[in-house]
């Protein structure tokens, strides 16, 4: 074992990440509501066991009413969202119409699948368009693309699947959906060492985009730990 590998082991980086690569080990989710869809994420970005950024924004706007929730390598997901944002802008200029969520999701799928040996990126693409209304797609690390009733991702998702299965229902209002998303994300942040910081949500519908921010000392599940 080389000196670099030993150092990586000590710092907790020997988990599949390349040296110096920053991970958005995270909790992300997307829940539809009556007339739209809401995306939610924590804000912790880590390098092994070191918190590199505790207030990063993992909800990226790639079109007027389409967002991506990022998980995996921060560098990979930032590059992917930049590419997709550029391509969707070109689609809008060429057609004179806003792109659909399906178009954005399948473009993301193609980029991830064609580069699956080089990337570590799993994302949720969600938003609203006049054709399908609010819709949610998840794109896995290997490049599979699935349209789902709702989606979760990241290292914290395993802690909240039972909660969402029990409490989520179709036809919820925007406020009910936002409260459930915050509750679920807060639970995951309390249990998952790679999730933490603050909670960001974005509600997307025909009326536009509505962003919301919850600081760490106002989490629904209780105050954030002292190290946040």
The domains of the chain, with CATH numbers, are 29-218 (3.60.20.10)
Distances (CA, A) of 163 to 1, 12, 38, 177, 217: 43, 30, 17, 13, 22
pLDDT band, very low/low/confident/very high, at 7 (cuts 50, 70, 90): very low
Distance CA 6, CA 22 (A): 18
pLDDT at 11 over 70: no
Residue carrying the six token digits 């580069």: 115
Residue 153 · residue 123 · CB < 8 Å: yes
Catalytic site positions: 26
pLDDT at 99 over 60: yes
pLDDT band, very low/low/confident/very high, at 104 (cuts 50, 70, 90): very high
Averaged pLDDT score across all residues of the chain: 87
pLDDT at 12 over 80: no
- Best CA proximity match to 200, nearest among 54, 59, 10, 1: 59
Of these ranges, 19-28, 177-186, 218-227, the one predicted with the greatest mean pLDDT is: 177-186
Q: Which long-range contacts (CB under 8 A, 24 or more apart) does 75-78 make?
A: 75/21, 75/22, 76/119, 76/120, 76/121, 77/24, 77/121, 77/123
The model carries a pTM of 0.85
* pLDDT at 46 (0 to 100): 81
Q: Beta strands of the chain (E only): which ranges?
A: 28-33, 36-41, 45-47, 50-53, 59-63, 66-72, 121-129, 133-139, 145-147, 151-153, 199-205, 208-214
């Amino acid at each position: 074992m080389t000196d670099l590998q030993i150092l990586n082991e000590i710092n907790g980086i020997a988990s599949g990440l390349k040296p110096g690569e920053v991970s958005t080990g995270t909790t992300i989710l997307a829940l539809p509501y009556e007339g739209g869809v809401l995306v939610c994420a924590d804000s912790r970005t880590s390098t092994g066991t070191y918190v590199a950024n505790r207030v990063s924004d993992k909800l990226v706007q790639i079109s007027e009413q389409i967002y991506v929730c990022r998980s995996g390598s921060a560098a990979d997901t930032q590059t992917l969202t930049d590419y997709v944002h550029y391509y969707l802008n070109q689609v809008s200029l060429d057609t004179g119409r806003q792109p659909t969520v399906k178009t954005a999701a399948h473009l993301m799928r193609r980029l991830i699948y064609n580069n699956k040996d080089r990337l570590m990126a799993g994302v949720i693409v969600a938003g609203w368009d006049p054709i399908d209304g609010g819709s949610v797609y998840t794109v896995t690390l290997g490049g599979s693309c699935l349209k789902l009733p709702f989606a979760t991702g990241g290292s914290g998702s395993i802690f909240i699947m039972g909660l969402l299965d029990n409490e989520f229902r179709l036809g919820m209002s925007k406020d009910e959906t936002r409260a459930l998303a915050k509750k679920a994300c807060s639970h995951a942040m309390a249990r998952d060492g790679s999730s933490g910081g603050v909670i960001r949500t974005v509600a997307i519908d025909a009326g536009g985009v509505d962003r919301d921010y919850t600081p760490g000392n106002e989490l629904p599940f209780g105050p954030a730990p002292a190290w946040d």
